[in-house]
Amino acid sequence: MYAQEQEKADAIARKAARKQHAEESGKRHTIWFGLGMFGLIGWAVAVPTLLGVAVGVWLDRIAPGEFSWTLALLLGGVALGCINAWWWVSKESEHDD
Protein backbone atom coordinates (compact mmCIF):
# COMPACT_ATOMS: atom_id res chain seq x y z
CA MET A 1 0.00 0.00 0.00
CA TYR A 2 2.81 2.40 0.90
CA ALA A 3 4.57 1.74 -2.43
CA GLN A 4 1.49 2.78 -4.43
CA GLU A 5 1.15 6.00 -2.46
CA GLN A 6 4.84 6.73 -2.97
CA GLU A 7 4.47 6.14 -6.74
CA LYS A 8 1.53 8.55 -6.89
CA ALA A 9 3.45 11.15 -4.90
CA ASP A 10 6.46 10.77 -7.20
CA ALA A 11 4.27 11.13 -10.31
CA ILE A 12 2.70 14.29 -8.91
CA ALA A 13 6.12 15.69 -8.04
CA ARG A 14 7.41 14.99 -11.58
CA LYS A 15 4.38 16.70 -13.15
CA ALA A 16 4.78 19.71 -10.86
CA ALA A 17 8.48 19.95 -11.71
CA ARG A 18 7.73 19.80 -15.47
CA LYS A 19 5.07 22.49 -15.13
CA GLN A 20 7.35 24.76 -13.12
CA HIS A 21 10.19 24.27 -15.62
CA ALA A 22 7.87 25.09 -18.54
CA GLU A 23 6.65 28.26 -16.81
CA GLU A 24 10.18 29.38 -15.94
CA SER A 25 11.60 28.70 -19.39
CA GLY A 26 8.73 30.44 -21.18
CA LYS A 27 7.96 27.35 -23.19
CA ARG A 28 4.35 28.39 -23.70
CA HIS A 29 5.42 30.70 -26.53
CA THR A 30 5.70 27.96 -29.08
CA ILE A 31 4.18 27.74 -32.52
CA TRP A 32 1.42 25.53 -31.13
CA PHE A 33 0.56 28.08 -28.46
CA GLY A 34 0.41 30.80 -31.13
CA LEU A 35 -1.81 28.72 -33.40
CA GLY A 36 -4.05 27.88 -30.47
CA MET A 37 -4.44 31.56 -29.58
CA PHE A 38 -5.08 32.40 -33.24
CA GLY A 39 -7.87 29.82 -33.31
CA LEU A 40 -9.31 31.04 -30.02
CA ILE A 41 -9.41 34.64 -31.24
CA GLY A 42 -10.96 33.54 -34.54
CA TRP A 43 -13.74 31.66 -32.79
CA ALA A 44 -14.21 34.53 -30.32
CA VAL A 45 -15.13 36.76 -33.28
CA ALA A 46 -16.84 34.20 -35.52
CA VAL A 47 -19.36 32.81 -33.03
CA PRO A 48 -21.03 36.14 -32.05
CA THR A 49 -21.00 37.21 -35.70
CA LEU A 50 -22.74 34.05 -36.89
CA LEU A 51 -25.23 34.19 -34.03
CA GLY A 52 -26.02 37.80 -34.94
CA VAL A 53 -26.62 36.83 -38.57
CA ALA A 54 -28.84 33.90 -37.59
CA VAL A 55 -30.97 36.01 -35.26
CA GLY A 56 -31.07 38.80 -37.86
CA VAL A 57 -32.34 36.48 -40.59
CA TRP A 58 -34.99 35.15 -38.23
CA LEU A 59 -36.09 38.67 -37.26
CA ASP A 60 -36.19 39.77 -40.92
CA ARG A 61 -38.60 36.90 -41.62
CA ILE A 62 -40.95 37.52 -38.72
CA ALA A 63 -40.70 41.32 -38.42
CA PRO A 64 -39.68 42.91 -41.72
CA GLY A 65 -38.98 46.61 -41.48
CA GLU A 66 -37.33 49.54 -43.17
CA PHE A 67 -33.88 48.35 -42.18
CA SER A 68 -32.18 44.99 -42.24
CA TRP A 69 -32.00 43.18 -38.91
CA THR A 70 -29.46 40.86 -40.47
CA LEU A 71 -27.05 43.67 -41.28
CA ALA A 72 -27.55 45.39 -37.93
CA LEU A 73 -26.98 42.23 -35.93
CA LEU A 74 -24.06 41.23 -38.17
CA LEU A 75 -22.32 44.47 -37.23
CA GLY A 76 -23.31 44.03 -33.59
CA GLY A 77 -21.91 40.49 -33.61
CA VAL A 78 -18.64 41.64 -35.14
CA ALA A 79 -18.35 44.41 -32.54
CA LEU A 80 -19.11 42.00 -29.70
CA GLY A 81 -16.65 39.48 -31.14
CA CYS A 82 -13.90 42.10 -31.34
CA ILE A 83 -14.50 43.09 -27.72
CA ASN A 84 -14.41 39.42 -26.78
CA ALA A 85 -11.14 38.91 -28.69
CA TRP A 86 -9.62 42.01 -27.06
CA TRP A 87 -10.56 40.61 -23.64
CA TRP A 88 -8.83 37.28 -24.40
CA VAL A 89 -5.69 38.99 -25.67
CA SER A 90 -5.51 41.32 -22.67
CA LYS A 91 -6.04 38.35 -20.33
CA GLU A 92 -3.12 36.49 -21.95
CA SER A 93 -0.96 39.64 -21.83
CA GLU A 94 -1.57 39.95 -18.10
CA HIS A 95 -0.63 36.31 -17.67
CA ASP A 96 2.73 36.93 -19.37
CA ASP A 97 3.71 39.69 -16.95
What does the alpha-carbon distance between residue 73 and residue 53 come to, in Å, rounded to a whole number? 6
Q: Are 69 and 56 in contact (CB under 8 A)?
A: yes
pLDDT tens for each residue of 50-89: 999 999 999 999 998 899 999 999 999 999 999 999 998 8
Annotate 61-77 with DSSP letters as a single string.
HHS--SS-HHHHHHHHH
* pTM of the shown model: 0.62
Of residues 97 and 46, more confidently modeled: 46
pLDDT, mean of residues 26-46:
77
Q: Where in 1-97 does DSSP place strands (E)?
A: none
Greater confidence, 73 or 38? Answer: 73
26 — alpha (psi -120 to 50), left (phi > 0) or beta? left
